[in-house]
Structure 1
Amino acid sequence: MNPSQTLAFALIRRRSVTPADDGCLAILAGRLERLGFACETFVSGPPDLRVTNLWAVKRGTAQRAGKLLAFAGHTDVVPPGPIGAWTSDPFSPVVRDGRLYGRGAADMKTAIACFVIATEEFVRRNPSHGGSIAFLITGDEEGPGVDGTVKVVELLKARGECIDYCLIGEPTSVSTLGDTVKQGRRGTLSGALCVHGVQGHVAYPDLAENPIHRAIPPLAELAAQQWDAGDEYFPPTSWQISNIHAGSGANNVIPGSLSIDFNFRFSKASTAEDLKERVRAILDRHNLRYDIAWTLGGEPFLTLPGELMTAITDAIHAVVGVETTRSTSGGTSDGRFIARICPQVVEFGPPNGSIHKVDEYIEVALIEPLKNIYL
């Protein structure tokens, strides 16, 4: 096995189901310290859900040492689901038919392994390099995301530390390694809406108020809204109902309330406050009695073409000969936090077709090219 594959094996063996770390960050810190990195470990969260984060920096030797490139990612993984549905133990990495199988193989322990090996090779070849290199690795990306990268970013901001360039190893490729990189992500805004009615017998609707009937017209209007037209980088903002519930379980009772969960994925053409106001205006126009609780999961961020994007696309073309497409599609990432202290944040990693699935894998033949692109 090559060094990247060996390190990936070591990380996949750790049962780091979010927010557990199970020793992943100690493995990484040990290797980085041997390269001369100053490693800081931050623990956050309640006692039963402790999150471990790593911030490691190797300062350059020249005047431009302040130019800092950070590799960012997460060692936590989603639960494997039914173990019996896997062809092999998700935490016992194995190679079958040219694929490395295991939870985190694609998302994103192999990318982190490639980060580290690429850095080892670079430092060995350039012992007096001028720039600075950092690692920001968390154990809370697949979970709530409240005690992970965001906490490190808040600490760095309080200390007056900034990052010039950040490369996140999320699995962004689609059909082949390097075909897609993320230059940003949409924002996410969730709402928990409770529509109030008056409970009663279905045979006496004049003595009750059905919140389902009252909510259908405004919900239809919300679903039909064009919130914005997007822009050259982002698709139009979307609004989707994710859950809806009412009723006592009896078919002869008009419910007293209706609960609806919904989510916006929004572009930079809209703001969270504007979207909230427009939702309230529609609900108020239909004279609903309601309460609504909002959760802003993250603001949209965008990295315009610049030094980092050029470096990544050039490296991809040099190593695998692929022309890269820039995208802002998909869910959220920790880039939404890092963008607060870093003007250039780009995500690039292996193909994402198997992530979060049973028998997650990465093609073994892609591991060395991935490392070489990072190098």
Structure 2
Amino acid sequence: MLSFSHELKYIFEELTGVEKQKQIDILSNLIAIQSVNNHEDQVADYISSLFEPYKSQGVKIERVTYAPHRDSLVVTIGKGEKVLGLSGHEDVVDAGDRQAWNSDPFKATIKDGKLYGRGATDMKSGLAALIVAMIDMLESDSVPGKIKLFATVGEETGEYGAAQLTKEGYVDGISGMLIAEPGNEMSEVGFTSKGVIDYIITSIGKGAHSSQPEKGINAIDHLIDFANEVKPLMAQFNKVDPVLGKLTHVQSLFNGGEQINSVPAKAVIKGNIRTIPEYPNKVVFDALNNLVGKLNQKEGYELSIRYSFPEEAMPGDANSPFIKLIKKVHDQMYDEPLVANGQSGASDGSEFLHAKGDFSIALLGPGNGTAHQSNEYVDVAVYHKSVEFYKQFASAFFE
């Protein structure tokens, strides 16, 4: 008798051309939908159409509207008290300069074993693999337990869909969450990640002719004071997370003034902070708010601060039972061991972690380092094999 790992390899290699083509077709159709920070409802329409034929098997499809043309989707298959959450986001970033692409970014193109297109890596290949795995389980009548697919809107710009699904209770009660974010060709699983704080400081001054600056209030000068003081303030957050490293801070955008011979009446600076679990976002908020308040005590200063969709850092444990199970299934299918690491970028996990219940979150999917780049691609063989991984992991999860 073949060993379990050899059986898996055999099953994967025996995939028929029809089965592989079905997997490619689903991914290609997703890439063709230009869900660039909008129009996710078309992705939801397509995913719904794939699961509609299985409603007689108890499949439940729920649409959750975030805004016009922006629908997240929750698809539930199987039964039982224990619930496995699977997740992928429906949106992609803009394709950028089309001249920098060797093919149409919204038409999947296969060359030399790679499938090119916007979202091929981040993360329509992961989303497609989850969908195919669930459909395969339905078709073979082998759904091992209750599985929920969360297809979300707005991940690239603020995890809007994940936040809404969490707030409205759709994620409550799950026993584990696997997000199919790119994991370096299925070789790295993320178990923790940094959070994000985007802040916007607006300085209001008073315009005047530059030949009579004493009659005005220079908004840029006051903003520069903030910029100079916020750097050492953020440097005080100097704890080092053993996996994620330090909190980082970048002043990324600065805009002010009207014309060269006028005292600027308004100026704006934007900054980006990547937080670690050692510093909850509220601690950073308090520090920034206090700095703004201190500066506003000076004569003529009028600074205000607002935050754009901040995300908490996602804590995790590389030795949790959930991560160990992922590694066990991975070892049975892949030659190289799975590396558990932290991720500097935020994901929907930063919102899902607020759901009710005690569960672990992991990030693992097909894809590579070409996310957000021209000529983004996914390795076709890696994509096909990820489908089998998700099926085997689901089975192991409920054993």
With structure 2 as the length reference, what TM-score do the two structures score?
0.81
Counterpart residue number, 1:195: 203
Range with bigger deviation, 31-40 or 310-319: 31-40
2-side partners of 1:67 and 1:43: how far apart?
23
Is the 1:183–1:303 contact (alpha carbons within 8 Å) kept by the matching residues of 2?
Answer: yes
Instruction: State yes or no: 1:28 paired with 2:47.
Output: yes
Q: CA deviation at 1:236?
A: 1.9
Q: 1:169: Cα distance to partner? A: 0.8
Cα deviations by residue, 1:199-232 (Å, 9 ceiling, x for unpaired): 3344444444433334434422322323241323
Q: 1:362 deviation in Å?
A: 0.9
Distance 1:13 1:272 in 2: 37
Tell me: CA distance 1:139–1:222, structure 2 relative to 1, closer, same or farther (3 Å).
Answer: closer
Distance 1:317 1:293, change over 3 A: same
Whether the 8 Å contact between 2:83 and 2:176 is mirrored in structure 1 is yes
The match for 1:229 is: 239
Q: Does 1:349 align with 2:365?
A: yes
Aligned to 1:272: 281
Q: Are 2:59 and 2:75, in contact at CA under 8 Å, matched by a contact in 1?
A: yes
For residue 300 of structure 1, give the secondary structure of its aligned residue in structure 2. Answer: coil
Counterpart check, 1:327 vs 2:346: no
Q: One-letter code of the match for 2:201?
A: L
SS of the equivalent of 2:40 reads coil
Residue of 114, 119, 133 corresponding to 2:134: 119
**Candidates 253, 271, 275, aligned match of 1:243:** 253
Q: Distance in 1 between matches of 2:307 and 2:158?
A: 15
Say if 1:16 and 1:76, in contact at 8 Å, map to a contact too: yes
Q: Structure 2: 5+ residue runs without aligned partners? A: 1-16, 392-399
CA–CA separation in structure 1 for the residues paired with 2:251 and 2:124: 33
Which amino acid is the alignment partner of residue 110 of structure 1? S
Change (3 A) 1:151 1:240: same
CA–CA distance in structure 1, aligned partners of residues 209 and 42 of structure 2:
58
- Matching residue's letter, 1:137: A
**Separation in structure 1 between the aligned mates of residue 156 and residue 292 of structure 2, nearest angstrom:** 33
Shift of 1:143: 4.3
* Alpha-carbon spacing, 1:122–1:264, altered in 2? closer, same or farther (3 Å): same
Counterpart-to-counterpart distance in 1, 2:73 and 2:221: 51
Please give the residue correspondences for 1:287-326 in structure 2 after superposition, counting only pairs within 5 Å. Answer: 287=298, 288-304=301-317, 305-326=319-340
Offset of residue 244 of structure 1: 0.9
Pick from 40, 44, 54: which aligns with 2:65?
A: 44
Alpha-carbon distance change, 197 to 367 in structure 1, aligned in 2, over 3 angstroms: same
- Between stretches 362-371 and 322-331, larger displacement belongs to 322-331
**What is the CA–CA distance in structure 2 between the aligned matches of 1:108 and 1:336, rounded to whole Å?**
17
> Is the CA contact (8 Å cut-off) linking 1:178 and 1:323 kept in structure 2?
no
8 Å CA contact 1:39–1:54 kept in 2: the answer is no
Q: Residue 115 of structure 2 aligns with which residue?
A: 100
Task: Give 1:68 deviation, angstroms.
Answer: 0.8
Distance, in Å, in 1 between the alignment partners of 2:365 and 2:152 is 17
Is the Cα–Cα contact under 8 Å of residues 69 and 166 in structure 1 kept in the other structure?
yes
Partner of 1:361: 377
Cα offset, 1:163, TM superposition: 1.1
Distance 2:288 2:152 in 1: 35
Deviates more, 1:332-341 or 1:188-197: 188-197
Alignment of 1:73 onto 2:84: no
1:222–1:371 distance in 2 versus 1, CA, 3 Å: same
Q: 2:137 touches 2:143 (CA, 8 Å); kept in 1?
A: no
Residues 158-237 of structure 1 correspond to what in structure 2 (within 5 A)?
Answer: 161-173=172-184, 177-224=185-232, 225-237=235-247
Gaps of 5+ in 1: none
**1:156 is paired with a residue of what secondary structure?**
coil
Report which stretch shifted further, 251-260 or 281-290: 281-290
AA paired with 1:280? N
Q: Distance in 2 between matches of 1:237 and 1:165?
A: 27
Q: Secondary structure at the match of 2:27?
A: helix
Q: Which amino acid aligns with 2:373?
A: K
Q: Which amino acid counterpart does residue 351 of structure 1 have in structure 2? A: G
Where does residue 260 of structure 1 map in the other structure? 269
Q: 1:259 to 1:73 in 2, by over 3 A?
A: same
User: What is the number of residues matched between the two proteins?
Assistant: 361
Measured in 1, the distance between the counterparts of 2:142 and 2:228 equals 62
Q: Amino acid of the residue matched to residue 267 of structure 2?
A: L
The answer to whether the Cα contact below 8 Å between 2:41 and 2:71 also exists between their aligned partners in 1 is no
**Larger % of helix: which?**
2
Paired AA for residue 218 in structure 2:
N
Secondary structure at the aligned position of 1:162 is classed as: coil
Q: CA RMSD in A?
A: 2.6
Shift of 1:161: 4.2
